[in-house]
Amino acid sequence: MRIPIHREGWPFIAIFAVINFLIWKFSAVAAVVFLPLTLWCVAFFRDPERTPPPGENRIVSPADGKLLPIVEAVPPEELGLGPQPRRRLSIFMNVFNVHVNRMPVSGTVVALAYRPGRFFNASFDKASVHNERMSARVRPAGASDPAGDLAVVQIAGLVARRIVCDIKEGDAARRGARYGMIRFGSRLDVYLPSSAKIVVQEGSVTTAGETVLAELQG
């Protein structure tokens, strides 16, 4: 069975495989002990196909993981969305989740901003404020009012040290399409416009590109 792998993973898989081979040259037992780490590396960078549900008004999860408590929070100031708090949906990815990130809505990327920061555990609420992040502001297809824009934020975690973002300002976004990933263990935040209706519950397990988080109204 072929396991689809994200391109970011091949250098790491190669390193783990070479180390495993060198260990085997000295000790078969030690190589067997190390093998689960090599297999984990392969699994970490897996990139399965996903099919978004019908309905362009639906906002889908940008990440596999667990939905943390839903809170009201001010979106990243670098996106220019203003100081008004918005409902924030946060998905925590552990080291066993698929880490390829997908676009929550179709539309246009109107702003993109990187901000360096700390590396607190991504499950902590303060990670959204203090950790290294890459923020994207997306205007849903058909929307003309900036108040209807949505923010999706890639946040580095305790172990994560690299955020990969493959989109640029002005790009057309497609709901459920791949747009980046984070190595190794991290978090995705989605800041909703006021018109969105949340349809998912706290603690839910989400699947990137498929689980519906909310629905745009009007």
Whether residues 19 and 110 fall in one domain: no
Residue 79, pLDDT score? 93
Task: Indicate if the pLDDT at residue 191 is higher than 90.
Answer: yes
**Average pLDDT of the residues in 6-14:** 84
80 and 183 fall within a common domain: yes
Instruction: Fill in the amino acid letter for 124.
Output: F
Instruction: Examine the domain organization and report whether 193 and 112 are in the same domain.
Output: yes
Q: What is the pLDDT of residue 156?
A: 86
Dump pLDDT digits (tens) for 103-141: 999 999 999 999 987 777 777 777 787 788 999 999 998
In this prediction, residue 171 carries a pLDDT of 94
Q: State whether 167 and 88 are in the same domain.
A: yes
pLDDT for position 67: 96
| 124 and 187 assigned to the same domain | yes
Domain extent at residue 96: 58-216
Is 52 inside a domain boundary?
no
One domain for residues 37 and 65? no
The pLDDT of residue 157: 75
Instruction: Tell me: pLDDT of 197 over 70.
Output: yes
Do 90 and 150 fall within a single domain?
yes
Say if 53 falls within a structural domain.
Answer: no
62 touches 152 (CB < 8 A): yes
Task: Verify that 85 and 191 share a domain, yes or no.
Answer: yes
Does residue 38 sit in the same domain as residue 66?
Answer: no
Average pLDDT rounded to a whole number, residues 160-168: 82
How far apart, in whole angstroms, are the C-alpha atoms of residue 94 and residue 104? Answer: 20
Q: Is residue 50 part of a domain?
A: no
Percent of the chain at pLDDT > 70 equals 96
pLDDT at position 59: 96
Catalytic residues: 186
Dist CA 185 CA 62 (whole Å): 14
State whether 70 and 31 are in the same domain. Answer: no
Minimum mean pLDDT among 98-107, 145-154, 205-214: which range? 145-154
Does residue 51 belong to any structural domain of this protein? no
What does the pLDDT read at residue 17? Answer: 92
Residue linked to tokens 């220019």? 80
pLDDT-based confidence at residue 159 (cuts at 50, 70, 90): low
Number of domains in the chain: 2
160, 131 contact by CB (below 8 A): no
pLDDT at 2 over 80: no
Same-domain status, 27 and 73? no
- Rounded to the nearest 5 percent, the helix, strand and coil shares of the chain are 20, 35, 45
Answer yes or no: do 73 and 117 share one domain. Answer: yes
Provide the CATH number for the domain around residue 171: 2.70.70
